[in-house]
Amino acid sequence: MTTRKPVGRSPLASVGIYLGATLLTLFSVFPLYWMFMTSVKPRAEILTSTPDFWPSVWEWGRYLDVIERGFGRALGNSLLVSVVVTVLGVGVSAFAGYAFARMNVPLKKYLLLVVLATQMFPVVVMIIPLFIIMRNLGLLDQLLGLIISYMSFTTPLAIWILRGFFRGIPDDVEEAALVDGATRFQAITRVVMPIAAPGLSAAAIFVFIAAWNEFLFALTFVKAEPMQTLPVALQSFIGRGATDHGAIMAFSVLFTLPVVIFFLLVHRRITQGTLAGALKG
């Protein structure tokens, strides 16, 4: 019996793949490079018809100006809102996703359609109803109002991701825990949840980034400057008369840098969670 040797990739194909990956990387990184360079350029080199790819003088003072104009306060607000939304949203979504995946919930198919349908409507449709609710509850200009409103569009996505993970966990694992004397809650928290850790991580990453970047709700529900999050604080640098483009870019660099670092550290879990949720769901 003869065995067929695997056909290797040709050198030309390998060169093409690496060249394409390099071009794609440069295309993706260039906006970040241009944003940073604009933040340290002199004003005359920013507002020019011919682009300058390297500043003649590095002006680092814009970063100090941005920090003095309330960046730290806005950063704290964004971190608080994003972390609380992530913890509460993923916690609720974990049990909801488990119920949809493993339990005979009445009208489960229709409830799943409702969860999926919430992702099809634009977020702007929810602004007026949520604004009325927040006004009646006295939650305008409050971070708690932002937390509740953010969970309205992040929780359904997390439920859908986690449902796919829970469906991929064998029933025998949970049944073995029940036979050993564990309660249903103990089996979920001590056996099922640790196995679904990649899914929980992926859902937490998606929820955190969505809450971190949200602008429309934060602009509508929060007017008090001490309560503003980073996206709304960034808008304050755009004036009606003159706009300081360098300060805007400096703020954007500080705004984007934590998310970029965070994404580089967890991008493997994002890919793993997305693929597993799609294949198992």
Q: Along the 281 residues of the chain, how does pLDDT read in single tens digits?
A: 455 555 556 778 788 888 888 999 889 888 888 889 888 888 888 887 777 788 888 888 889 888 888 888 999 999 999 999 999 999 999 988 888 888 887 777 788 888 877 777 787 888 888 899 999 998 889 999 999 999 988 888 888 888 888 888 888 888 888 888 888 888 888 888 888 888 888 888 889 989 998 998 999 998 888 899 999 988 877 765 667 788 888 988 888 887 877 777 766 666 555 555 444 44
DSSP, residue by residue, 63-125: HHHHIIIIIHHHHHHHHHHHHHHHHHHHHHHHHHHHHHHHS--TTHHHHHHHHHHTTTS-GGG
Domain range holding 264? 63-280
pTM value surpassing 0.85? no
Q: In whole angstroms, what is the distance from residue 159 CA to residue 116 CA?
A: 9
Whether 87 is in a domain gets the answer yes
Determine the pLDDT at residue 279: 45
Cα separation of the two ends of the chain: 41
What are the tokens at 166? Answer: 């829970």
Helix crossing, 143-167 with 72-102: angle to 10°? 40
Indicate whether 164 and 138 sit together in one domain.
Answer: yes
Indicate whether 37 and 155 sit together in one domain.
Answer: no
Indicate whether 19 and 135 sit together in one domain.
Answer: no
Which is nearest to 174 in space by CA: 164, 159, 189, 158?
Answer: 189
Give the total number of structural domains in the chain: 2
Indicate whether 117 and 182 sit together in one domain.
Answer: yes
Indicate whether 109 and 140 sit together in one domain.
Answer: yes
Indicate whether 233 and 246 sit together in one domain.
Answer: yes
